Amino acid sequence: MRAFSESLTAGKFVVTTELIPPKGTDLISLFERAETLRDQVDAFILTDSHAARMSMSPMAVAHLLIDRGIEPILSVTCGGRNRIALQSDLLGAHALGINNIICMTGDHPTVGDHPEAMPVFDLDSISVLRAIASHRAGKDMSGRRLNVATTFLAGAVVNATATNQDQQMRQMEMKVAAGAQFFVAQAVFDPFLFKSFMSTAGRFNIPIIAGLIVLKSSEMAHRLNASIPGIGVPSALIDEMDRAENSDSTGAAIATRTIKEIASLCQGVHLVSVGREYQIPRVLEAAGIASGSSMRKK
């Protein structure tokens, strides 16, 4: 199952979204969401202990999605595992047929539901990318031979609308040198800032997938600004949501408008509509990138 990597390699426009493994073992609703969207997206990013909250292993969910013919992208974070455990998980993921990895340093345990947990952070996202590159070369991080090399497609994240763009470029450069093969940009709400970012980031010649969140309300926008570092919902959009007679329609319209403004600059969108998956097909269709559209085929 390599449709996602093949699409990226071929230069096609891709669509991803996220699935959050449950706090428990009941996967019925997660599978239902995946089935609803399987014809709309190319792959599902499975979060790893989202917001430092304990949940089911995303590796198990990824394997079960593969059994259903649905392509996952496995998130790997560093807060709870050292380099031995992380490398073991990577080898296990490869054995289970998981081909796509996205590396993130992750959140500190103090922000989650087990604030007393001891943080690890033996590695960061750049170190995990290096580990994956070593595994692709048939060796572990210490240089010892693996009996079979892995073949992961490795991705990383970037903040395309950060205030300090020079720092983001340095981070991208280090991640590319470490083996990153694609990037997912943190949620974009300001197309002008994204265009400025892409004018510089294009020099890396690596696929960049722009993240977008479909706003539910102005309250949600305020929460994003307050709680997620690096996300900035402009005041004009918050005012637009405040004035909305139908917040669902307005949030979808903002996402559609943003996609239309940036789609020519990037190689895909990572579209998230928290708890309202019905919005995703609507936004994609309105933006002209629904499944089977000319943009998806380019």
In a domain, 141, yes or no: yes
In sequence order, the 6+-apart residues with CB closer than 8 A to the CB of 139 are 145, 146
Q: Is residue 75 classed as helix, strand or coil in its secondary structure?
A: strand
Q: Is residue 268 classed as helix, strand or coil in its secondary structure?
A: strand
Q: What is the pLDDT of residue 248?
A: 92
Q: What is the pLDDT of residue 226?
A: 85
In a domain, 276, yes or no: yes
Q: What is the pLDDT of residue 296?
A: 66
In a domain, 64, yes or no: yes
In a domain, 110, yes or no: yes
Q: What is the pLDDT of residue 113?
A: 84
**Residue 295 corresponds to which tokens in the numbers above?**
């943009």
Region of residue 106 (phi > 0: left; psi between -120 and 50: alpha; otherwise: beta)? left
Q: What is the pLDDT of residue 17?
A: 97
Per the structure, the count of domains in the chain is: 1
CA distance 159 to 34: 26
Q: What is the pLDDT of residue 231?
A: 83
> Phi and psi of 23, rounded to 5°?
-90, 80
Query: CATH number for the domain including 130?
Result: 3.20.20.220
- Tell me the pLDDT tens digit for each residue of 36-55: 999 999 999 999 988 888 99
Average pLDDT per consecutive 10 residues, the chain (298 residues; last block may be shorter): 88 96 96 95 93 92 97 96 97 97 91 89 97 98 97 96 90 97 96 94 95 94 84 92 94 97 96 90 92 58
Domain assignment of residue 49, given as a range: 3-293
In a domain, 122, yes or no: yes
Q: What is the pLDDT of residue 261?
A: 97
CA distance 187 to 225: 11
For the entire predicted model, the pTM comes to: 0.94
Q: Is residue 73 classed as helix, strand or coil in its secondary structure?
A: strand
Q: What is the pLDDT of residue 228?
A: 78
Q: What is the pLDDT of residue 227?
A: 79
In sequence order, the 6+-apart residues with CB closer than 8 A to the CB of 151 are 94, 99, 136
Q: What is the pLDDT of residue 94?
A: 98
In a domain, 124, yes or no: yes
CA distance 242 to 218: 6
Q: What is the pLDDT of residue 295?
A: 66
- Tell me the pLDDT tens digit for each residue of 14-41: 999 999 999 999 999 999 999 999 999 9
Q: What is the pLDDT of residue 78?
A: 94
Side-chain-side CA neighbours of residue 165 (13 Å): 11
Report CA dihedral (93, 95, 98, 103) to the nearest 10 degrees. Answer: 30
In a domain, 80, yes or no: yes
Q: Tell me if 150 sits within 8 A of 100, measured CB to CB.
A: no
In a domain, 298, yes or no: no
